Structure 1
């Protein structure tokens, strides 16, 4: 399995460093992608006619984001996978990072947001967020900082977090009405 993962990762990364325009786009997506997704979620809070059901999903997306990243920290206690550039699978075209590779925090964060919208039935918005999450994940492999399986692991963690939030944070509870009524 590792050879297949390394081969896919190396193939995606092969293109890095050969086209400065694509490199710049991928660096931009990797750098600004997650903050822009968070901004897109937060901005919806003040959209006219943002009813409590939409606000419930926005809170769920934020909780999924945070819980997903928390789950990643637990995983990192047990799985300490070196980055693909350290294993000489990829060549890195951005600055090195100091943490471990699996799972990808970028993928977890972006897929958690997308999954929150999807599991709460806002599929149109969810698919836009999912497309953005896929692009962010691809950019991380392209840049040489993650294996393809790191992105899949992050996606799984993001969907798990959204599922947990869906089970635990119910719409129209007293807490939900309080939180969705803020501002």
Structure 2
């Protein structure tokens, strides 16, 4: 399985360095993708139609985001995978990271947002967020900072987080009504 992971990673990262414009887009996607997604979620707080449900989903996506990143920290206690550029697998387009590679925090965060929207029945928005998440995840391999399997692991932790939040944070509860009534 490692051989396939390396082959896919090398293939995607092999696209880098061929087109300076594409390199710049992928670097920007990697760097600014998550803040833009968070802003896109936050700006929906003042949506008019179906306000209570939308706000519930926004809170759920934020909780999924945070829980996904927390799960990643637990995984990192047991899996210490070095970055692909340190293994000579990829060429790096950005500064080195000090932490381990598996799973990708960027992919987890973005996919957790998308999964929360999808699991709460907001399919159109969820698909837009998932498209953005896939682009962010792809950019992480493209720029050389993650293996393809790091993205698959991130998708698993993102889905686990979104499912856990879906089960634990129920719409219409007293806490939900209190939180969604803010502002």
The equivalent residue for 1:7 is 7
Residues 90-146 of structure 1: per-residue CA shift (max 9 Å, x gap): 010111000000000000000000000000000000000000000000000000000
Maintained 8 Å contact 1:12/1:141: yes
1:60-71 mapped onto 2 (5 Å cutoff): 60-71=60-71
Distance in 2 (alpha carbons) for counterparts of 1:135 and 1:66 = 20
Distance in 2 (alpha carbons) for counterparts of 1:104 and 1:50 = 33
Residues 41-92 of structure 1: per-residue CA shift (max 9 Å, x gap): 0000023345111100000000000000000000000000000000000010
The equivalent residue for 2:106 is 106
The equivalent residue for 1:162 is 162
| 3-state secondary structure, aligned to 1:3 | helix
Maintained 8 Å contact 2:60/2:165: yes
Tell me the number of residue pairs that the alignment of Structure 1 and Structure 2 aligns. 183
| 3-state secondary structure, aligned to 2:133 | helix
Cα-Cα RMSD:
0.7
Distance in 1 (alpha carbons) for counterparts of 2:53 and 2:119 = 13
| 3-state secondary structure, aligned to 1:73 | helix
The equivalent residue for 1:147 is 147
The TM-score, its normalising length taken from structure 1, stands at 0.98
Maintained 8 Å contact 1:44/1:50: no
1:24-39 mapped onto 2 (5 Å cutoff): 24-39=24-39
Do residues 54 (structure 1) and 40 (structure 2) align? no
The equivalent residue for 1:117 is 117
The TM-score, its normalising length taken from structure 2, stands at 0.98
Ranges in structure 2 where 5+ consecutive residues have no aligned partner: none
Quote the offset at 1:181 in angstroms. 0.3
Poorly superposed stretches of 4+, deviation over 6 Å: none
